[in-house]
C-alpha cells in the first residue's frame, strides 16, 4: 500500500525555554537607554501598529527631545506602580493631570517600567535555566554511554536495527537533536555570558541506525544539521528597541523592492533561458546596504519575473499575508512556515501597513538539495488605489545563531490590478546562501535560479490561481463522461487532492525535520529512507510508515517524462503495484487550460480474479518550472462519499509520486517551449511512502527496509527502460 508520512518535530521543552531566554537578553539593553530613547521607540512602534511609516514622516531621522521626568513625578509613578502596574485610560489621565504630564508619557513610562522589571526577572531565570541545561547535558552523556554499550539480549553482540522498537529509534533521534541543540546553545551563550559552557564529544555514528539518519548521510550532512536545524524555527522575541528598527528596515526594503522591480539596464542584464541577471556591482553602487554588506563565503542569487495572473489582486494579497494560504499555495517551495509575531495588522480593515515577523523553510522536491531557512519580516503596503507590494527582508541581527548561512535581501512582489479580474505580478527574488552542500546533480538548476528563483514562484502562483478558479466554478460543461460536474463533489475531490499534494511535498524534500538515511548501493542511485509513526491521525492509516526517495538524471525532456508517467495507458510499464492490470480513468477534474493539469480517479482492473480492483487518486500538474505527479490508493466507499460532496478530511492517504525538474537553463539557440530547458534532460525524483506495519509500536525490521528499497529501485529501472525505449 502506498502513502504519506507523518510530519513530526522533536523539541525539548527545556531547551526551547532556554533559547527563548537567551534571545530575550536583548531586552536588557533597555536599561542602557535613557527615557528619551525609550519614549521615541515606543512612539515609533505605535505608529507602525497604526499602519504608518514613522521613518517616512521624519526623513531626516531627527528625534524630538522630551524633558526628563522630575524626581517627584518619578516617585509618584513608582508609588502608583506598586499598587497598579497596569493602569487603565482613566487612571492614566488622572495621574497625568496630577503630575502635569501628557497621558502618553504616563503610558510609556509604565510600559518601560514593566519591561525593566521583566528583564530583571529573566536575568534571575537565566541562572536557573543554565543549571538545568547543564543537567540535561549530563543526561545526554549518560544516554551516549548507554547507546554505545547496547547489545543484543539473545547473542550478546551489537544490537541490530530489526531488534529495536520504533520508540527506541525515536529516542536516538531525540538524543541526536538535543545534542545539536546544546552545542548551538553553547555558541549562543558564549556571546551573552562572555564564556562558553562546557562542551561534550559527539556520539560515534552507529553502523546501521535508521533512526539517526544524519550519521549515515554523506559528510556534508553533518554541516547541514548545524545550519538547517530543527531548533531554528523558534518563537520570536522582539523587544521594544527592536521594533522601530524592524519598521525602518521594512520601509527601506519596500523602497528597494519597488525600485528593483521597475529598473532596467544596467541593473538587470539578459541571462540564460530568457531570464534576467542582476548586475551585482551596479546593485552595490546603487542601493544602500540596509541589512549589511555581503557575507563572506555566501553566493548571491537574484532573479526577476513578470506575468499576468487570472486572479483578483486583493485575493493575491490575502494569500501572501495569510501564512496558511501562502504555505498551501506554494507547498512545493515552502516546506513549512510560521508567523512568529504580528507587529501591525494593517489599517482600514485590510493588510495595508501590516508587519509580520515570520520564519520559513524553502525547498526543492528532492532530498539532495538542502532547504533554506529564513527568519524575516514581511511588510505589505498599498502603493496606489490599484496596486500593492509585499516585501520580505531578513532579520539576521535578531537571530540567535553564531553564523547566518542564508539571508533574504529585499524580495517579494508588486501586484497591480488589471481589468476583468486579472492582475499583473512583478516578482523579485534576491538571496545570499551557502549552496556548497547541494548535490552535483542539482548544482546547475540551483545556481541559475530555476530552483528557488522568481520564475518558479510566479509559475507556481499562476498555476495555483487557475486551480482555485476552476475548483470553485459553478457550471462545468459535461463534454466528457469522465468529468466531475457537481460543484460539491468537485470541491471535496479538489480538497482531498490538495491535502495529498501537500503531504507529498512535505515528505519528499530535505527539510530539517527529516532524518534521511542513505542506503548505499553499487550504482549511482542512492535511495534515502526514513521511518515515521502514524497515530491518531484520521487522514493517515495508523502504523509505521517508511518513506523512500531517490533522484536521478534521465536524458529526456521534462514534458515528455511527465506525459509518459501521467498516461494511464503506460502506467503498467512502471507501476509495480498495479501488477500489470489495465488502468482506466473513472473521473477527472481539469485544473487549468493545460489538459495535462488535472485531478483523476483511476481504477486498476486486476488481471487476477481473486483480487479486488484498486482505486487511485492522482493529481498531475506542470508549469514552466517543473512537473509533479502525486497519487495515492483510496478506499472505494470513502471515495464515493467524497464524490457525493462528503468531508474528505477523514479519507486516509499515503501519497507517493514524482517531481520532474529541468536539468538547467538552455542555451541561446534552444527553443522557448515549455519545459525545454537545459541540455534536454530531466532531474527526476521518485518518492514512495509505504505502510510497513499497521501497529505503531511494532519493531521496524531490516526486511521492510529491503523491500521498500527493492520497490523503488525496480520502479526506477522500469521508468528508465520504458522512457528510453519510447524516446530513443
In a domain? residue 368: yes
**Axis-axis angle for helices 558-566, 702-726 (nearest 10):** 110
- Whether 467 and 542 map to the same domain: the answer is no
Residue 555 shares a structural domain with residue 527 = yes
Residue 656: beta bridge partners? 631
Residues in a beta bridge with 165: 699
In 3D space, the residue among 570, 530, 618, 569 whose CA is nearest the CA of residue 725 turns out to be 570
Phi and psi at 374, nearest 5°, equal -130, 145
pLDDT of residue 724: 76
Residue 569 lies in a domain: yes
Distance, CA of 342 to CA of 218 (rounded, Å)? 39
Has residue 562 been placed in a domain? yes
What are the φ and ψ backbone dihedral angles of 208, each rounded to 5 degrees? -150, 85
What CATH number is associated with residue 614?
Answer: 3.30.530.20
Q: Which residues contact 419 (CB under 8 A, 6 or more apart)?
A: none
Same domain? For 427 and 516 the reply is no
Q: Is the dihedral of CA 105, 36, 255, 453 positive or negative?
A: negative
Count CA atoms closer than 13 A to 107's CA, side-chain side: 11
What total number of domains does the chain contain?
A: 2
> How far, CA to CA in Å, does 517 sit from each of 165, 174, 370, 527, 550?
17, 15, 14, 8, 11
Q: Which of 248, 282, 239 is nearest to 59 (CA)?
A: 248
What's the domain range around 615? 487-666+677-726
Nearest Cα to 225, choosing from 168, 173, 147, 294?
173
pLDDT at 450: 85
Looking at 430, 445, 472, which one is the last position of a domain? 472
Q: Specify whether 461 is located in the same domain as 498.
A: no
Residue 409 sits in the same domain as residue 506? no
Tell me: do 684 and 575 sit in the same domain: yes
Domain membership flag for residue 142: no
- DSSP per position, 69-114: PPHHHHHHHHHHHHH-SS--HHHHHHHHHHHT--HHHHHHHHHHHH
Question: Is 360 in the same domain as 308?
Answer: yes
Specify burial of residue 416 (Cβ count, 10 A radius: 0-12, 13-18, 19+): middle
Co-location of 444 and 503 in the same domain: no
Q: Which helix (H) or strand (E) holds 358?
A: strand 355-362
| DSSP strands (E only) in 538-613 | 543-554, 582-590, 598-605
Last residue of a domain, one of 472, 497, 521: 472
Last residue of one domain, picked from the residues 422, 442, 472: 472
Strand 582-590 and strand 614-623: pairing? unpaired
Q: Phi then psi for 340, rounded to 5 degrees?
A: -85, -35
Q: Is residue 410 part of a domain?
A: yes
pLDDT single digits (tens) 355-408: 999 999 999 999 899 889 889 999 999 998 889 999 999 987 666 555 567 889
Domain shared by 525 and 440, yes or no = no
pTM for the whole structure = 0.66
| Strand 582-590, strand 543-554: pairing | unpaired
List per-block mean pLDDT (blocks of 10 residues) for the chain, which spans 728 residues: 39 37 38 42 42 42 59 87 88 88 87 88 84 80 68 53 51 64 55 42 35 31 29 52 84 91 87 75 76 75 91 94 94 91 86 92 90 92 92 78 74 93 93 88 87 92 87 58 68 90 85 68 68 78 86 90 89 80 84 81 75 83 90 89 87 91 64 48 90 80 83 88 73
> Does 522 lie in the same domain as 433?
no
Contact 106, 99 (CB under 8 A): yes
Same domain, residue pair 410 and 501: no
List phi, psi (to 5°) of 497: -65, -35
pLDDT of residue 20: 42
- Cell numbers 527496509 label which residue? 705
Task: Tell me what pLDDT residue 123 has.
Answer: 85
> Is 406 part of a structural domain of the chain?
yes
- pLDDT value of position 4: 41
What pLDDT was estimated at residue 575?
86
Which residues, 6 or more positions from 535, have their beta carbon under 8 angstroms from its beta carbon? 6, 542, 696
Kindly state whether residue 693 falls inside one of the protein's structural domains: yes
pLDDT at 122: 85
Helix count (H) and strand count (E) of the chain? 18, 19
Task: Report the pLDDT value the prediction gives residue 524, as an integer from 0 to 100.
Answer: 54
pLDDT at 426: 95
The pLDDT, as a whole number, for residue 530 is 80
In SS3 terms, 620-654 reads as EEEECCEEEEEEEEECHHHHHHHHCCCCHHHCCCC
How does DSSP assign 284-350, residue by residue? Answer: HHHS--TT-SPPTT-EEEEEEEEEEESS-HHHHHHHHHSHHHHHHHTTTTEEEEEEEEEEE--BTTT
Residue 253 located in a structural domain: yes
Are 367 and 399 in the same domain?
Answer: yes
Amino acid at each position: 500500500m502506498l502513502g504519506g508520512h507523518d510530519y513530526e518535530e522533536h523539541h525539548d521543552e527545556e531547551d526551547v525555554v532556554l533559547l527563548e531566554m537567551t534571545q530575550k537578553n536583548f531586552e536588557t539593553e533597555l536599561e542602557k537607554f535613557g527615557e528619551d530613547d525609550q519614549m521615541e521607540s515606543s512612539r515609533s512602534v505605535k505608529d507602525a501598529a497604526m499602519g504608518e511609516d514613522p521613518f517616512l514622516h521624519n526623513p531626516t531621522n531627527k528625534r524630538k527631545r522630551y524633558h526628563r521626568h522630575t524626581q517627584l513625578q518619578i516617585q509618584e509613578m513608582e508609588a502608583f506602580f506598586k499598587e497598579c502596574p497596569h493602569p487603565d485610560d482613566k487612571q492614566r489621565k488622572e495621574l497625568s493631570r496630577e503630575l502635569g504630564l501628557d497621558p502618553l508619557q504616563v503610558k510609556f513610562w509604565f510600559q518601560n517600567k514593566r519591561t525593566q522589571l521583566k528583564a530583571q526577572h529573566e536575568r534571575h531565570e537565566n541562572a536557573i535555566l543554565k543549571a538545568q541545561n547543564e543537567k540535561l547535558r549530563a543526561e545526554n552523556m549518560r544516554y551516549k554511554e548507554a547507546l554505545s554499550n547496547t547489545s543484543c539480549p539473545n547473542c550478546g553482540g551489537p544490537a541490530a536495527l530489526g531488534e529495536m522498537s520504533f520508540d527506541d529509534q525515536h529516542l536516538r533521534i531525540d538524543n541526536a537533536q538535543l545534542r545539536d541543540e546544546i552545542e548551538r546553545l553553547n555558541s549562543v551563550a558564549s556571546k551573552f555570558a562572555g564564556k562558553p559552557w562546557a562542551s561534550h564529544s559527539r556520539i560515534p555514528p552507529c553502523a546501521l541506525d535508521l533512526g539517526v539518519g544524519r550519521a549515515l548521510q554523506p559528510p556534508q550532512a553533518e554541516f547541514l544539521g548545524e545550519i538547517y536545524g530543527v531548533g531554528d524555527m523558534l518563537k520570536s522575541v522582539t523587544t521594544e528597541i527592536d521594533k522601530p528598527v524592524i519598521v525602518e528596515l521594512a520601509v527601506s526594503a519596500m523602497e528597494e523592492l519597488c525600485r528593483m522591480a521597475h529598473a532596467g539596464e544596467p541593473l538587470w542584464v539578459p541571462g540564460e533561458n530568457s531570464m534576467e541577471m542582476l548586475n551585482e556591482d551596479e546593485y552595490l553602487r546603487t542601493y544602500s546596504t540596509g541589512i549589511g554588506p555581503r557575507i563572506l563565503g555566501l553566493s548571491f542569487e537574484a532573479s526577476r519575473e513578470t506575468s499576468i495572473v487570472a486572479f483578483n489582486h486583493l485575493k493575491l494579497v490575502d494569500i501572501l499575508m495569510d501564512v496558511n494560504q501562502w504555505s498551501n499555495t506554494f507547498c512545493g517551495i515552502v516546506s513549512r512556515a510560521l508567523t512568529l509575531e504580528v507587529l501591525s495588522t494593517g489599517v482600514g480593515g485590510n493588510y495595508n501597513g501590516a508587519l509580520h515577523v515570520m520564519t520559513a523553510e524553502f525547498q526543492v522536491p528532492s532530498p539532495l538539495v538542502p532547504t533554506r531557512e529564513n527568519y524575516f519580516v514581511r511588510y505589505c503596503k498599498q502603493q496606489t488605489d490599484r496596486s500593492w507590494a509585499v516585501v520580505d527582508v531578513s532579520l539576521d541581527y535578531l537571530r540567535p545563531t553564531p553564523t547566518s548561512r542564508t539571508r533574504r535581501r529585499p524580495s517579494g512582489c508588486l501586484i497591480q490590478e488589471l481589468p476583468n479580474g486579472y492582475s499583473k505580478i512583478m516578482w523579485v527574488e534576491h538571496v545570499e546562501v551557502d549552496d556548497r552542500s547541494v548535490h552535483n546533480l542539482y548544482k546547475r538548476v540551483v545556481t541559475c535560479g530555476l530552483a528557488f528563483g522568481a520564475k518558479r514562484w510566479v509559475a507556481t502562483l499562476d498555476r495555483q490561481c487557475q486551480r482555485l478558479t476552476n475548483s470553485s466554478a459553478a457550471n462545468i460543461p459535461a463534454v466528457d463522461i469522465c468529468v466531475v460536474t457537481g460543484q460539491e463533489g468537485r470541491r471535496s475531490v479538489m480538497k482531498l487532492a490538495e491535502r495529498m499534494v501537500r503531504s507529498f511535498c512535505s515528505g519528499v524534500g530535505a527539510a530539517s525535520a527529516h532524518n534521511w538515511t542513505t542506503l548505499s548501493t553499487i550504482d549511482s542511485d542512492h535511495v534515502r529512507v526514513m521511518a515515521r509513526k502514524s497515530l491518531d491521525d484520521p487522514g493517515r492509516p495508523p502504523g509505521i510508515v517508511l518513506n523512500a526517495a531517490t533522484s536521478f538524471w534521465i536524458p529526456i525532456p521534462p514534458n515528455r517524462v511527465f506525459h509518459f508517467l501521467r498516461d494511464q495507458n503506460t502506467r503498467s510499464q512502471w507501476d509495480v503495484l498495479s501488477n500489470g492490470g489495465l488502468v482506466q480513468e473513472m473521473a477527472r477534474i481539469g485544473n487549468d487550460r493545460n489538459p495535462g493539469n488535472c485531478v483523476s480517479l483511476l481504477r486498476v482492473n486486476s488481471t487476477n480474479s481473486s483480487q479486488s480492483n484498486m482505486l487511485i487518486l492522482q493529481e498531475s500538474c506542470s508549469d514552466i518550472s517543473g512537473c509533479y505527479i502525486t497519487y495515492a490508493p483510496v478506499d472505494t466507499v470513502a471515495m464515493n462519499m467524497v464524490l457525493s460532496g462528503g468531508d474528505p478530511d477523514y479519507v486516509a492517504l499515503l501519497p507517493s509520486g514524482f517531481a520532474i525538474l529541468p536539468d538547467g537553463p538552455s542555451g541561446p539557440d534552444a527553443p522557448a517551449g515549455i519545459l525545454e530547458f537545459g541540455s534536454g534532460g530531466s532531474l527526476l525524483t521518485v518518492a514512495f511512502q509505504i505502510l510497513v506495519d499497521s501497529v505503531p509500536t511494532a519493531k521496524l525490521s531490516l526486511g521492510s527496509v529491503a523491500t521498500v528499497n527493492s520497490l523503488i529501485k525496480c520502479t526506477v529501472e522500469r521508468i528508465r527502460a520504458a522512457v528510453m525505449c519510447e524516446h530513443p
